[in-house]
Structure 1
Amino acid sequence: MGCRVCRARKVKCDGRPNGCRNCERLQLDCLGSAAGLPAPMTAASLPKIRTYRSCQSCRLSKTKCNGKRPQCARCAAKRLDCVYHGDSAPRWAHHLSKASARQQEALAVPTLHLMPSPPEPAVAALVVSPPTPVVDALAHPVESHLPVDASAAGSHSLAWLLSPNLPSGRNLGRVVEQYFANLHPLRCFAFVHKPSFMSQLDKGLTSDDESALLHVICAHGAKFLVLASAQPDATPPPPALHAAGNQWAKRAEFLMLANFGRISVQRLMTAILLHDFHFRLGEYGQALMISGLAVRMAHALKINVEYNSDILCASDDANAPSVASRESRRRLMWACYVLDAWAGSGIDQLTLLREGDIKIQLPCNERNFGLRIPSVTETLGVGHVLQFLPPAIVPRRPAANMGIMAYYIRVVALWKRIVRYVNHLHASPPPWQPDSHFAALDADLHLWRRELPDFVEYSTETIYARLDSNQLGTLLLIHCTYHHNYLELYKITMPSLFKLPKPYDFPSDHYDFLKAAQANCYYHAHQIADILVEAVEYGPRLLSDSLLPFFVYDSSRVMLYYVALAFCAS
């Protein structure tokens, strides 16, 4: 086979190794045989003095032309008009260069641009495991996901939040504290045992899994730190700081996915926090995929069942998990349950977790968790405890050991049942009948509200108590979720607003039931608005849960719709 240059020129090639004679005579790069490998460097690869095209004047005089454009050397010296016909290279040369470029792209190993500088010493000390060549090549975000340059924030005091590297010292503590003060209390995110985490952080993290968790915690903390700086009486932060923490979340995502076959509790924590991070940025596709990964991790870790029957950790087994570790695993499983509930949106095909598969007790209160005090709590069913517990260790009121997180899990479980009922509306008796699913769900909502302890009530005393413990956002969320459950249940009475696929046709003799349900729906929508209006007075960070905008949207629609109905009726 001849070289590719000769084949492109359609001339005979002698096939001489290290460059054929034709390419040597024409001083061209001999591009090798059909294998596509370039020939080794020869004299033909030196800078060429031959040109593909000669100007018209040199061609007529049969003299050598150097092909320089717009005027060759001979025409410039003789002050002649230099005119060329055609491009600077023939057609076969263009085809050859295109084919060569395509082949080089196919053979080239893609190079990802990683962090422009090595980690700071304080952060490098946290991750002591040596990276493999593959991990080192993929370790940092791709160019399209690179963080905003820190210079874009100018001389702002928080410009370091745009650095690709984690901060160190005091700044690292600032972002971590922002996470624990703002996101950690919300929903079921309180699965990280703060004393243990801070102790490990001081000693130095020893694995990529722990580093990934630290990165996503700092990513969330960076958002709240920017929010805290945007005070009405202060200079607003530059727009570039809106991207603060994004680069650390990308790093955490890489560390989680680089070897996702290796499953650990820290990786699952990272996945849950990454799901919420993507959800806040409006990246719902990424959030949905991570939710599935998180549920599979939970099943693989078998945290949907208790580690053993020793709930109070009374045995002397040194290999058994500690009190804090057991409770952290429970909270992590319930966080997966809540995540799966909201991600599935009541659609059976998207919901991966079933209540019957979760055979653990509900989380204990924050005091017991922080102080590592073992305790027995109820299960998802009201008044029930784990069946294998001996009666001697079951307290008289196991619910006294439960915190606000346990009651939030129960109201989310009610929401799942309500949405499933609305999606399969005609499979149950009509809602106005006393034995209908509608009546049963309404009674369960009243029961949940009646079983609330004083420390979860929405009252002035509770508001100030939760404000002092950074849990007011949690209190707002649980009560907004409760009222939103009524909006979901009573949406069957407003089919034109919620566009139900198969709405109920309420007969005229049940007109009073319809009007009462609509009025009740309006009442709960107004309650959501009142709660959030009051919360604004305490600062915007208390409205930081990513579900609240959806509650506000539905609440506003219901109130406007009800007022419009009343106006038309009058």
Structure 2
Amino acid sequence: MTDSIVRGHVNMGGSSASPSTSAHGRRMDQDISPANRAEASDSSKTETKRRRVSTGCLTCRRRKVKCDETHPVCSQCQRLAVECIWKDTQQYSNKSIRSCRRACDQCRISKAACSFHDPICTTCERKGIDCTWKLAEKGSTPPPASAPAAGDELARIEPIAPDRPILHDGNVKKLVSIYFFRVYNVSWHGFLHRAAFIQRLHRGQVPRHLLTSVCLASAIVLGLDAEDCKTRLADCHRQISEAIISPTLDLLCTILNIIYCEMAVGRRSALWMLSGMANRVAMAHSLHLPGDDSMPGGETRRRLMWACYCIDIMVTGKQTELASFALDRIAIQLPLDERSFMLRFKATTRIFRLPWQPPSEAERGREGMPAQGVMLFALSHSVLKYLAVAQWEQPDLPGSQFQSCQMDLLAWRDSLNAALECTEENVFTRIEMGQSTAFYALHLRYNWAMATLCTSALQRPSELLNVDWHRQIMAVCQESWLSIADVGDTLLSADPDFVPEDPTRKSCFDSEYTMSMSTHVCKQQFWSY
């Protein structure tokens, strides 16, 4: 009796199993196939090995023996009298943090995947933004920025002394950043692809004359002295004369930037020769014909051609026989919107012709501010040509040149998408994008063109015009003049410190540009807007 009790106690507490348990175990072993048994064994070994690798000391891990994980010296190392080395837990726990710090500043701020390519990563190149690595070395993360930090660059830039070269190492990168934030978006200057240019700059592939013109345009925005600017422009002209033997697209970009600088310092006499030189380079590369369709190269070619066209009609004015390019000879599509150009998205826009037809709903999103600016330049040019014959034409007759110009301008206004309408919400968006001056100029040019057109038509004696038509055009004229002030009020309500930064165009806030009903003043000052 006692022996049976002892044997039962041993069977329950020892390693041997009860008869029922043993039978159940044998049935389980029979149900498990050899393949499943081998897989379970391998899985158990892997889990054991993973636990040993992750928790044992480094000495035992190298010897491939089991460690009892006794700190600071385990029993195995104590028995063999060897050094017991443990991994640095802080070092391994911060591995992901160090990996994050190796990313560029922009990818860390936006929490995007960085390719770690210095000087410009793939993500920044695709987005068309500067790729900096300063914060990655310091290990600090600033708050996200919604716009390029051109304002910060202004505070850190060193003064440009008259005897100091414009391409000073400490200022080149900052001046390039300012160029793309404050010069690039103005009028027809958006022909350089930001990411591609910065990548070429880091590789040392930007010609000296192009880099000099970019930095000089930025220095003018910063308030470079006019006399110092003229001295530096003379050096740029020498570089252009040396490179004109083999004209390239980089040289064309340089000439267009120099035109911007010459207009900024008030030397409009040089525009005629520079514009003719730019047009010849454009013709040499056949930019007015369909060609390269790659991105961003093909879009850069189109934007360069439209920039030459805008400058050409601005310089020649109403004297169409002196223009190098007629609109019907330009067989390329309008520029893409800025987002598609920056992100290298291929899209198709229309070929611009007069009389102009509004785009379809599917085409409206593709024609952004650059395309609208080009079309408005051409429509303004048709208004300027009308001024030459306004005193001989009967404007209230159907099919007159006045009616054609007015219908084109109204069709252009109706074609603007919601993102380009003059509202406070859109103004805030353009300010963040650095496009407030271009947005202001777009609406200002339209209202100025419509006001000038109506003003010139009203110079005819009222007794020769239809009474109802005369009253209607008078109302349109007054509305257009008042809209010029409304555009400025809208921008000032969003940004009280707003000042147009385009030196090629005078501000409507100047006293000399008050409302004038003189046709002569309209002719002389039309292109000042």
- Asked if 1:301 is matched to 2:285, the reply is yes
Deviation at 1:444, TM superposition (A): 1.6
Q: In terms of Rg, which structure is larger?
A: 2
Provide the residue aligned with 2:454 in structure 1: 490
1:520 counterpart = 2:505: no
What's the counterpart of residue 502 of structure 2? 544
Q: CA deviation at 1:547?
A: 2.2
Letter in 2 for 1:302: S
Mapping of residues 90-101 of structure 1, within 5 Å: none
Q: Deviations over 1:82-138 (max 9, x none)?
A: xxxxxxxxxxxxxxxxxxxxxxxxxxxxxxxxxxxxxxxxxxxxxxxxxxxxxxxxx
In 1, Cα distance between equivalents of 2:510 and 2:481: 8
- Check if 1:469 corresponds to 2:427: no
Distance 1:184-1:367 versus aligned 2 partners, 3 A rule: same
Cα drift, residue 192 of structure 1 = 0.5
1:555: Cα distance to partner? Answer: 5.2
Report the AA paired with residue 281 of structure 2.
Answer: M
Q: Is the 8 A contact 1:528 1:551 kept in 2?
A: no
Aligned to 2:445, which of 452, 456, 481? Answer: 481
Whether the 8 Å contact between 1:193 and 1:328 is mirrored in structure 2 is yes
Q: Using the alignment, how far apart are the partners of 2:202 and 2:270 within structure 1?
A: 32
CA distance in 1, matches of 2:435, 2:451: 25
Kept in 1: contact 2:427–2:491 (CA 8 A): no
User: Which residue is 1:367 aligned to?
Assistant: 339
Summarize the Cα distance change of 1:341–1:539 in structure 2 as closer, same or farther, 3 Å threshold.
Answer: farther
Q: Give, in whole Å, the separation in 2 of the partners of 1:200 and 1:163.
A: 28
Distance in 1 separating the partners of 2:430 and 2:250:
28
In 1, Cα distance between the equivalents of 2:184 and 2:274? 19
Aligned pair 1:401/2:366, yes or no?
Answer: yes
Q: Does 1:223 align with 2:223?
A: no
Tell me the matched-pair count.
Answer: 360
Contact 2:455/2:517 (CA < 8 Å) preserved in 1? Answer: no
SS at match of 1:401: coil
Identify if the C-alpha distance between structure 1 residues 243 and 172 changes in structure 2 by more than 3 Å, giving closer, same or farther. Answer: farther
Q: 2:315 aligns with which of 329, 343, 354?
A: 343
Q: For 2:174, give the aligned amino acid.
A: R
Q: What's the C-alpha RMSD, in Å, of the aligned pairs?
A: 2.9
Q: Is 2:378 the partner of 1:378?
A: no
Q: In structure 1, which of residues 409, 429, 433 is the aligned counterpart of residue 397 of structure 2? A: 433
The structure-2 alpha-carbon separation of the partners of 1:241 and 1:412, relative to structure 1 and needing over 3 Å to count, comes to: closer
* Alpha-carbon distance, 1:432 to partner: 1.2
C-alpha distance in 1, partners of 2:211/2:446? 33
Q: Cα deviation per residue 1:525-547 (whole Å; 9 max; x = unaligned)?
A: 22212323444545355342522
Cα separation, 1, equivalents of 2:368 and 2:284: 27
Q: Residue 515 of structure 2 is aligned with which of 542, 551, 557?
A: 557
What's the offset of the Cα at 1:510? 2.8
- Per-residue CA shift, 1:305-324, capped at 9, x if unaligned? 1115xx4xxxxxxxxxx411
For 2:297, the equivalent position in structure 1 comes to 325
1:281 aligns with 2:265: yes
Residue 248 of structure 1, CA deviation:
3.7
CA distance in 1, matches of 2:167, 2:352: 41
Shift of 1:190: 0.5
The 1-side partners of 2:419 and 2:462 are apart by 40
- How far did residue 437 of structure 1 move? 2.1
Per the alignment, residue 193 of structure 1 pairs with 193
* Identical columns (%): 21
CA, structure 1 residues 177+267, in 2 after alignment: closer, same or farther (shift >3 Å)? Answer: same
Pairing 1:33-48 to 2, within 5 Å after superposition:
none
- Change beyond 3 A, Cα 1:267–1:550: farther
Structure 1 residue identity aligned to 2:285: L
Is contact 1:431–1:439 with CA below 8 Å preserved after alignment? yes
* Other-structure match for 2:328: 356
Cα distance between partner residues in 1 of 2:213 and 2:479: 39
Partner amino acid, structure 2, of 1:492: S
Do the aligned partners of 1:362 and 1:380 also contact (CA within 8 Å) in 2?
yes
Q: Pick closer, same or farther for the CA change 1:550–1:355 going to 2, 3 Å.
A: farther
5+ residue gaps, structure 2, are 1-155, 520-529
The match for 1:213 among 210, 213, 218 is: 210
Quick check: 1:213–1:270 contact (8 Å CA) kept in 2? yes
Normalising by the residue count of structure 1, what TM-score does the alignment of the two structures yield?
0.58
Q: 1:541 to 1:168 in 2, by over 3 A?
A: farther
Measure the CA separation in 1 of the matches of 2:305 and 2:415: 24
The alignment status of 1:451 with 2:415, answered yes or no, reads yes
- Cα offset for 1:173? 1.5
Distance 2:302 2:512 in 1: 32
- How far did 1:196 drift? 0.9
> C-alpha distance in 1, partners of 2:173/2:496?
24
Aligned CA distance change for structure 1 residues 198 and 327 (closer, same or farther; 3 Å): same
Q: 2:13: which partner in 1?
A: none
What is the aligned partner in structure 1 of residue 375 from structure 2? 410
- The Cα shift of 1:518 comes to 3.4
In structure 2, distance between residues paired with 1:334 and 1:184: 15
Deviations 1:414-473 (A, max 9, x none): 111111122123675x11123322122212211111110011111111101111111111
Counterparts of 2:511 and 2:333, CA distance in 1 = 34
1:532 aligns with 488
TM-fit CA distance, 1:259: 4.1
Q: How many Å separate the matches in 1 of 2:184 and 2:157? A: 25
Q: Contact 1:362/1:379 (CA < 8 Å) preserved in 2? A: yes
CA 361–175 in structure 1, closer or farther in 2 if over 3 Å, else same? same
Mark the CA change 1:559 to 1:509 in structure 2 (over 3 Å): closer, same or farther.
closer
> The residue matched to 1:219 in structure 2 has which SS?
helix
Instruction: Tell me the alpha carbon deviations over residues 224-266 of structure 1, each in whole angstroms, 9 at most, x when there is no partner.
Output: 223xxxxxxxxxxxxx845554444332221112242321111
C-alpha separation in 2, matches of 1:541 and 1:214: 27
> Is contact 2:213–2:236 with CA below 8 Å preserved after alignment?
yes
TM-score w.r.t. length of structure 2? 0.62
